[in-house]
Each structure stands twice: as C-alpha cells, then as structure tokens.
Amino acid sequence: MKQFLTLLVSIAILSSCAEQEQKEAPMTENILLKEWKGPYGGVPAFDKMNVADIKEAIIKGMEMNLEEIDAIANNPEPATFENTIEEMERAGAELNRAFTYYGIFSGNMSSPEFREIQGELAPQISEFSSKITQNEQLFARIKAVYDASQTTPLDDDQQRVVELTYKSFEMNGAELSPEQKEKYAAISKELSSLYTTFSNNVLHDEENYITYLTEDQLGGLPDDFVKSAANIAAEKGQEGKYAITNSRSSMDPFLTYSTERELRKQVWTNYYSRGDNGDEYDNNELIAEILRLRREKVEILGYSNYAEWRLQNRMAKTPENAIGLMEAVWPAAIARVAEEVADMQAVADKNGDDITIEPWDYRYYAEIVRKEKYDLDSEEVKQYLQLDKLTEAMHYVAGRLFNYNFTPVPEGTVPVFHEDMKVWEVTDKTSGENIGLWYLDPYAREGKRSGAWANTYRSYSTFDGKKNVLASNNSNFVKPAPGEALLVSWDDATTFFHEFGHALHFFASNVKYPTLDGGVRDYTEFQSQLLERWLSTDEVINNFLVHSETGEPMPAELVTKIKNAGTFNQGFSTTEYLASAIMDMKFHLADPDTIDVDKFERETLAELNMPKQLPMRHRTPHFGHVFSGEGYATAYYGYMWADVLTADAAESFAEAPGGFYDEELAEKLVKYLFAPRNAIEPAEAYRMFRGRDAKIGALMRDRGFPVTSNE
C-alpha cells in the first residue's frame, strides 16, 4: 500500500500513454493485475499490456486494496506493528502492478484514448487515496503503534517505518474533523484533475509546434543532427524536409549551432511558450487555480502556506532555509551571466553581426566563445560521446563502485513495451547473484513525455521474501538515421550518468520494508548528481570516449580543454535553474486569491534582476515538475540543496588516495549513501559518510564562484 502512495506522486508528474486495440478481458482475467511470471523473479508482461485494460485494472485494484485496508482497520485484536504496519506494507500488490503499467502508458507511450481514461481515473484515484489516509479506524491503530513506540522503541527499521507512516497520514489530514476531511478530500480530487489537464496541455504543445526546415535553412547544423531531423520529418510525412521538434533534445542543439537567427527565435519561442499560447491549452488560469487550492488545502491542516507544509519533513525543513541557500548563490550566478553576455556581445560586435544578445542567441554565441576562450569545439567533443559507449562506461563505473556486472538479456527473453528498449541483467560480480534487471528506453517519440527520468517497476525489499529490482532509465535522444552512431553533447552525457545514478540507488537498496525504499526529495537527487562526476574521470575518458569513426581515444589535449572549461557557462546553467526554483517557492508563498500568473512571473523575475538574455529553465506555464503533480512542488530547490552535498562529497573522492575509485571510500558510499535509501535520516546518513555536515563552499568552488572565508 505504501508503494502505491509513493506511486501517486510519480504518476501525477507523467503525462502520456499507448494506443492498441484488443477486446477487453473479463475483469478477473485482467493481465495488468496478474502476478508477474517468467525469469528474474517475474517480469511485467509488457508485450501483453493494452490500454483498453487499464481502467478496469486500476478500479479493480483499488477495490482489492480497500478490502485489505478495511480488514486491517477492523481487526479486533489490539494494534501491533505486525498486525497493522506490516499488513499495510503487504497490502496492494495487485494495484502496484496495475500502476506499473499505468506509468508506462502515461510516461513512455501516448494516445488520445489513454488521456481520456487518465482524465476519468484521476479523481477516482484521489478519492481512493483519501479513503485510506482518512480512515479513522486505520489511523487509530497506526497512532496506537506510534504512541507505544515512543516509550518502547522498536527495531531501528521498524521504528523508522512507523514514524514515516504516522507522519504521512498526519500530513494528509488523518486528524481532521469529519467536515474538514470531506473538504480536504474534495480539494485533493479537484487538484488531481487539474494536474492531468496541465500535463496534457503541455504535451499538446510539444506535439503540435514543429518547425520544418528546407535544405537552404540548415546553416551551421551538424551532419548527424541534419540526418536525424530528415528522418523525423519523413516519419511525419514531410519527406525532403527537416523537423525540429518542440523538445529540449531537438531545441538545444538547434539553438547552439544554427546560423539562421530568425529560425532560432522561432524555435526558442515555440519551446518556451509551451502552455502559454493564449488558446484552449493555455495553463495560466489553471496554475492560478492550483495555487489557490493548494493554499486552501493546507490551511485546513493549520499551515499558513503550502511550502511550510511540504518542507517540514525534507532536509531543508523550512521555506526560509531553502530560500536562504538559493539567495546565497544567486548574486554570484547572475554576476557570471553578465560576464558571459559581455563575452558573447564582444564576439558578435567583432563579427559585425549588428545585434544585441537575446535569449535565442545565448547558446549560439556561447559556443563561439567556448571555442575562442578554450579552443573547445562542442561538436568535436561530441564525436567521442557515443551513446553505446557511454552505456558501457556507466556499467564500468557500477562495476568498480558497486561490484555490479551488466549482461545484455537476449532479445525475446524479457518482454518490452517498445522495440527500441533494451534490457540488461545486473549481477554481483563476486557471487554471481542476481540483483535485478536494467531497462533502457533511450529515444524520443511522439507521445513520450519530455526530459529524462528513472523508474522502478519493482523495488527491493526483503519483507515477505527477497524482491529483486526492476529499474529503467528513460531518455529523449533524437534517434539517429539507420546505421549512424548516436552522438550526444557533454551535457546530455552528464544527464545520462545522472539518471543512471538513480537506477544505481534503486539497485543498491538494502532495506526490509517497502516504505523505506522511498526517499526525501531534496536528498535523492544527491546520489544521482554525484554519479555525474565519474563521466570526467580518466578511466572513463581513456577507455570509453572514443571517436565514432576512427575508434581512437580522446586526445589528451582535448581532455585538458574539457577540464579547463569545466566552469564555463556556469552563469547560464545556474541562473536558468535557480530562477525556476526560486519562482516555485515564491509562487507558493504568495497570496493566490488574486494572482495573475504571467504578471507575477514577470514582476518577480524583475525584482530578482533576472538577466533578460536567458529564460527560466522551466517557465511557469510548462513547469511540469511543479504543476502536473506535487512531487516537486516547493521542492525544485532540492537539486541545489543536493548539489551542496554532491560538491562536498566529490571533494572527499578527489582527496582520497585512490581518487574517484578509492575502494574504502566507495564502500562507504554504498553503505551510507545508497543502500539505506530512507531507512536513515538523510542528514545523519551523510554525516556517517563524511564525518561532518556538508559545506556550501565546495559548491561555490565547483562552479567557479567566489567563496567567503566562512564557507
């Protein structure tokens, strides 16, 4: 059951589905509810899943789960950890399986058919959740176990489960009066529908704003990008043209290399206007309503704003602490932007371009400055970044740090939901014991939500028998033309490592209870951000970053250039991220009753002295992290919070005798930072690893920003 409550957060962020036709099976035979069969402890029947089955599977799964919950709540025996908390951990297996498929339909595959079903299910799922969290008899039993544990503590892992369960119910209205509970549940239900609409509006704009180029408009674009764009256009029925899709993986390289300034402006505008086009898919009024309802919901619980409620069980604890960190970094970030813009403007003036740097110019001129300052050509670097070799590199790092071995699973052995998907078996290198399966879905396609992410189809636990991990990484790389290697940018390679860090966090889990396999939002990004650092280690560069045509390793002089340029463009990357994180917090601290979303965004950014030459990484009308669900709402700051830990931990590896592959430190990394998941309070886990709390100075040094003496 707790696994399901965690899934609710993830599913709310997703926004896609799949379209197939098949007669509906009788409800009792629904494949999406059935226990997984086959090798590796059973695997999802991705080859048999059908969008027509999803609605009845979710409804039936919720009914079955509620029956289990009622049995727990109405148990006539006095409440104990075993007959209450453990039974809750055990409940909901069928529904969890159904939601695994729901997540695939929602995130990786899309169709109008599923979106209609998703809209119908969203309020029903919300009602279901409220029936559990507001079950008075159930909460009375949870509270009885919790109260008893305060005087007679349980085993450490049991105590942690009890406290997390109690806090989750408390935060979701378990102690409200019947009238308050009814109002709280109604608001939650309404919000669930708004989240779905928000997601679908963004997806509409991503699918429908495509820029088609002709051959005379390809100036500056790399050959591999041109071939991919031609392939995508042909697939969309535009043979002979070149498609620039409305996704970051297409937009970013186009803005970096295209010499066509007006086309850069068009592509930039399409991307940053998602959800903000003044039509039926515009999200501004929707956001205002979401903010109003979120405030009303937490006021019922006695909190003054949503951020105060949300952050109480995060590392930051309060909005003030989160804002304090962001404000400490912001001045240095925008000061660096001013330097970067000055460098770019000087290049434009020297070239006689007769322009003033605008947002659609930033990436283009930054690339020219990079070449001039560091003699570093991103396109040259890209020739050494083949996706297949990067995959091998990640497996190598996992072998050195975690003692894992990755072996490709023969095609047809394990069902997949798309032909592009690949699967590896993960085993312990010493014992040969199966750890789980790693699925990779690398390419962008219509209906797949944008960005990159990691999923678990089955999480680790030893409760009721050991359960091995089924985890996936999902990306949106533009699929190369047939026979061509997929070459990616350094930033994309970093993101690839980042998401693999999440997968390793899943695989390394060593917890007994499913609840403990969750995480704290401003902490769980830390492990994945830390893994990014291994991309630039000598072992990876020398063995896996080889030229796509010659097979030669990356030359030492190019490696030196990359490392010398390590803090290049940090003004841009830090500021675009921080602007989104600060806006997230400011929106949820503002009075929502009369808010004009577009005006509030403009005025707040002006107060921050936001440089006009770049946008927020996620403009408010398409900020899915925050408004398509509640997972990152008032929590987008978490990437920066986690990066303080990341920079500090990276310095410990840099100082270790064996560097980033130091065996003793790697053992501590796994033991304290990866394996416990949420079984240990995050700040305490970090102190176990480092011997002290993290310091912000490491972050400032890492980004090339000034460091004060007390940092």
- DSSP character string of 191-217: HHHHHHHHHHHHHHHHHH--EEE-GGG
Burial 560-592 (b: 16+ CB within 10 A, else e): ebbeebeebbbbbbbbbbbbbbbbbbbbbbeeb
Please count the CA atoms within 13 angstroms of the CA of 316 that sit on its side-chain side: 27
Alpha helices in 209-280 (DSSP H): 223-235, 248-257, 261-272
Determine the pLDDT at residue 521. Answer: 85
Determine the pLDDT at residue 3. Answer: 45
Report the candidate in 419, 366, 311 with the shortest Cα–Cα distance to residue 573: 366
What's the one-letter identity of residue 163? E
Determine the pLDDT at residue 710. Answer: 59
Report the candidate in 573, 532, 539, 574 with the shortest Cα–Cα distance to residue 559: 539
Determine the pLDDT at residue 711. Answer: 62
Listed in sequence order, the residues at least 6 apart from 473 whose beta carbon sits closer than 8 Å to its beta carbon are: 438, 439, 440, 441, 442, 452, 453, 454, 496, 499, 500, 502, 503
Listed in sequence order, the residues at least 6 apart from 560 whose beta carbon sits closer than 8 Å to its beta carbon are: none
Burial class (CB in 10 A: 0-12, 13-18, 19+), 131: middle
- CA atoms of 639 and 710, how far apart (whole Å): 23
Beta bridge partners of 213: 242
Handedness of CA 289, 295, 297, 299 (dihedral sign): negative
Determine the pLDDT at residue 709. Answer: 57
Please count the CA atoms within 13 angstroms of the CA of 176 that sit on its side-chain side: 24
Assigned fold of 387-522: Collagenase (Catalytic Domain) (3.40.390)
Q: What does each C-alpha distance from 466 to 90, 461, 479, 512, 603 come to in angstroms? A: 13, 6, 37, 9, 54
- Three-class DSSP category at 424: strand
| Phi and psi at residue 441, to the nearest 5° | -115, 90
* CA-angle at 685, arms to 679 and 690, nearest 5°: 160
The strands making up 469-477's β-sheet, listed across from edge to edge, are 404-408, 422-428, 434-443, 469-477, 453-458
Task: Give the tokens for residue 95.
Answer: 């529904």
Task: Give the tokens for residue 45.
Answer: 């029947």
- CA atoms of 3 and 46, how far apart (whole Å): 20
Task: Give the pairing type, strands 469-477 and 404-408.
Answer: unpaired
Task: Give the tokens for residue 603.
Answer: 């005025």
- CA atoms of 361 and 364, how far apart (whole Å): 5
pLDDT in tens, 648-692: 999 999 999 999 999 999 999 999 999 999 999 999 999 999 999
Task: Give the tokens for residue 607.
Answer: 């107060």
Q: For the chain, what percentages of helix, strand and coil (3-state, to nearest 5) are there?
A: 60, 5, 35
Task: Give the tokens for residue 162.
Answer: 């009890």
Which residues of the chain, if any, have pLDDT below 70?
A: 1-28, 709-711
The 10 Å Cβ neighbour count of residue 313 is: 15
Beta bridge partners of 406: 426
- CA atoms of 440 and 423, how far apart (whole Å): 6
Q: What are the strands, taking DSSP E only, across 478-542?
A: none
Q: What are the strands, taking DSSP E only, across 429-562?
A: 434-443, 453-458, 469-477
* CA-angle at 454, arms to 696 and 382, nearest 5°: 75
Determine the pLDDT at residue 631. Answer: 86
DSSP 111-142: -HHHHHHHHHHHHHHHHHHHHHHT-HHHHHHH
Q: What does each C-alpha distance from 309 to 45, 195, 260, 675 come to in angstroms? A: 39, 19, 48, 28
pTM: 0.89
Domain boundaries, the chain: 2-133+135-171, 209-272, 387-522
Q: What does each C-alpha distance from 642 to 322, 595, 648, 649 come to in angstroms? A: 11, 31, 10, 11
CATH class as words, domain 2-133+135-171: mainly alpha
Contact (CB, 8 A) for 142 and 166: yes
| Phi and psi at residue 283, to the nearest 5° | -100, 0
| Phi and psi at residue 187, to the nearest 5° | -65, -45
What's the one-letter identity of residue 432? G
Name the strand (E) or helix (H) holding 624: helix 624-627
Alpha helices in 258-318 (DSSP H): 261-272, 284-300, 306-310
What's the one-letter identity of residue 334? I
pLDDT in tens, 219-234: 999 999 999 999 999 9
Burial 333-365 (b: 16+ CB within 10 A, else e): bbebbeebbebbbebbeeeeeeeebebbbbbbb
Domains 2-133+135-171 and 387-522 share a fold: no
Beta bridge partners of 454: 473
